[in-house]
Amino acid sequence: MERYNDGERGGSVKVRASIKKLDNRTLIITSLPFGKTTASVVESIIKANERGKIKIRKVDDITAAEVEIQVQLAPGVSSDRTIDALYAFTDCEINISPNCCIIEDDKPHFLTVSDVLRTSTDRTKELLRMELEIEKKEKQEALLFASLEKIFIEERIYKDKEFENAKNMEIAVAHIDKRLEPYKPTFVREITSEDILKLMEIKMARILKFNSDKADENIAKFKSDIEEIDHNLDNLIDYAISWYLMLKEKYGKDYPRKTEIRSFENIEAVKVAEANEKLYINREEGFIGTGLRKDEFVCNCSDIDDIIVFFRDGKYKVVKVSDKMFVGKGILYANVYKRNDKRTIYNVIYRHGKTGSHYIKRFSVTGVTRDRDYDVSQGKAGSRIVYFSANPNGEAETVRIILKPKPRLRILQFEKDFSEISIKGRGSMGNILTKADVHRIQLKQKGVSTLGGRKVWFDPDVLRLNYDESGFYLGEFEGDDQVLVVYQNGNFHTCSFDLSNHFEPNFVRVEKYDEDKIWSAALFDADQNYAYLKRFTFDASDKAANFLGENPDSKLFLLTDVVYPRVEAIFGGGDDFREPIEIDVEEFIGVKSFKAKGKRVSNYEVKDVKELEPTRFPEEEKEKPSEIEIEAEEPINDADLLDEITGQMSLF
């Protein structure tokens, strides 16, 4: 909806099919975007598979009364990644342009939906005003005739001699009009001859059955109705709002919304395209591409990926992957390029010019223009990269620098830890490593990430993980850390912190998985028809498991990770007269498997279980600093190093 632009020309709405996971090998499409059919969606999926954008085994359209398209995935293919790919490369996601146009004065006008709604609402308000005025006029006429009728009958005007002996109708009407003269100030309008003629049409049977009290009630009711109408006219906006609410309440249940309004994350096609190609490199001739099958293999890639290439002279550039492309000789490194990737850090040592100083730098390449040359060095002729490493998680290694022997040069070797160098922009000069001539640089020991773990957030609006601080914070993830997902129906599973993971909307908990965390759950067991309490730990599993049991009618009252939880059981049904009971869960039941049934709360009917504030808290434990041991190479003494550089052989 971000580009909806209130329905104005140029805006668009992104519409998606509903895709669910039946299991890790099967996806089910249960609804389609507007304007698409099952045949067109199936055809687009088959074409995407033929182009290598997705990998599927087959597609089955088993639509009957409801839409149902089953997509069978190929072995080893991620279901979450395939869902994103279906949205990116098939008709499961389309853009609709809601160009709002009206005809006014025989000319088209493009407006916003708000303008149309405002005009329509104003028109509705005017129609309601007209209806109220018509209704008021009808009530006033009814009030007038009821008043005339009451006076005509109670005052027995029909028995006046002047009325009975009137020679013609005009004289009779004039007499009645004269008798009504004292009452005319109370009438809402002037009395006409038509009103008097209508009085004369009253049948005798009605006159005999006339009830003064009932007539007064009718007159009072008419006056009350007129007062209400006047109030609605004075507060026409409030009346229009209540009228719309009445329509919603009366007809809304018969016309439920069939779509779901939700923010969608933008899926980058390059991130979800299946890596169906292999990238090769010919360093000698300076070619890269997917068609160089006899040359050196680099990595898997998709046909829409970008490739970043570094050269020994310090130049680098980003190119589009192709079957075969000449990029230049002296290729040092090539791999798939990820735009806006701040985690991949390049550690570089380069020589400034042919005889200049050696510089050391660390940088990331977050955004560049395709096919444009950039320089790691300062651009001086003869510059050369003497050490290079690409680190996907910002690792910082330690290197040993061996210098060429020179008179009065006391130190022939020293070590440098890249973690001591700040990560700066790709255009930075770097720090001077040494002004002496370098014989060679060798890796002393591999390092660990200097960026720390990956901080992950979960956005409940789009039901996706992100690194952009959107939603609530899950924690800092490293390596094999996983995310625990628990749903209201008792299903749970663990998954990686990859951004392509999908989550269902009825979740109870989404957090960083801790295998030692003890959970407490209060539930209704549909098999036993009693409420139970249980304490357990969740097992790490990418397949969905259920801690409520196999009966789908079982339901969850509450789930908590408080160390010493207290709950209150509230009775219902025939036992609702009983006082609620408080339970210390940690003392009530021990920790068992999530498959265990638990312990019954009570033999009475429990309507609900609510969590109370704990009265005990665990003692805080001091964290011990983690120590990482890395094996280092044996150092070389200066005498042996000098012999190695000069070519001298040692006898001992």
The 10s digit of each residue's pLDDT in 473-500 is 999 888 788 999 999 999 999 998 888 7
CB–CB of 495/485 below 8 Å?
Answer: yes
| pLDDT exceeds 70 at position 271 | no
Using CA atoms, how far residue 212 sits from 146, 208, 215, in Å, is: 11, 11, 5
The region of weakest confidence among 56-65, 326-335, 460-469, 621-630 is: 621-630
- Structure confidence at residue 629 as a pLDDT band (50, 70, 90): very low
Please give the pLDDT value at position 627. 46
- Structure confidence at residue 628 as a pLDDT band (50, 70, 90): very low
Q: What is the DSSP letter of 53?
A: S
The 10s digit of each residue's pLDDT in 357-393 is 999 999 999 889 999 999 999 989 999 999 999 998 8
Integer Cα distance of 295 and 288 in angstroms: 9
Residues β-bridged to residue 466: 457
| pLDDT exceeds 50 at position 546 | yes
Using CA atoms, how far residue 355 sits from 381, 436, 629, in Å, is: 10, 9, 38
Give me the helices (H) in 409-555, please.
none
Integer Cα distance of 340 and 476 in angstroms: 20
Of 16, 463, 9, 22, which is closest to residue 260 (Cα–Cα)?
A: 16
Please give the pLDDT value at position 235. 93
Token pair, residue 372, equals 């444009």
Residue 143 or 125, more confident: 125
- Structure confidence at residue 642 as a pLDDT band (50, 70, 90): low
Please give the pLDDT value at position 470. 76
Please give the pLDDT value at position 287. 94
Token pair, residue 83, equals 């869902």
Residues β-bridged to residue 109: 102
The predicted model gives 56-84 an average pLDDT of 87
| pLDDT exceeds 70 at position 281 | yes
Percent of the chain with pLDDT over 90: 47
Integer Cα distance of 94 and 264 in angstroms: 12
**Residue 632: CA count within 13 A, CB half-sphere:** 13
Token pair, residue 77, equals 């293919």
Please give the pLDDT value at position 268. 66
Please give the pLDDT value at position 365. 93
The 10s digit of each residue's pLDDT in 208-230 is 677 777 878 888 888 899 999 99
- Contacts of residues 118-126 at CB distance under 8 Å and 24 or more positions apart, as own/partner, are 121/240, 124/240, 124/243, 125/236, 125/237, 125/240
| pLDDT exceeds 90 at position 569 | yes
| pLDDT exceeds 90 at position 11 | no
| pLDDT exceeds 80 at position 135 | yes
Residue 634 or 581, more confident: 581
The 10s digit of each residue's pLDDT in 436-454 is 999 999 998 888 777 778 8
The 10s digit of each residue's pLDDT in 66-78 is 899 999 988 878 7
- Average per-residue pLDDT in the chain? 86
- What single-letter amino acid sits at 641? L
Integer Cα distance of 47 and 92 in angstroms: 13
- Structure confidence at residue 633 as a pLDDT band (50, 70, 90): low
The 10 Å CB-count burial string (b at 16+, else e) for 24-53 is eeebbbeebbeebeeeebbebbeebbeeeb
The 10s digit of each residue's pLDDT in 573-598 is 889 899 999 999 999 999 999 999 99
| pLDDT exceeds 60 at position 651 | no
The 10s digit of each residue's pLDDT in 156-168 is 777 777 877 778 8
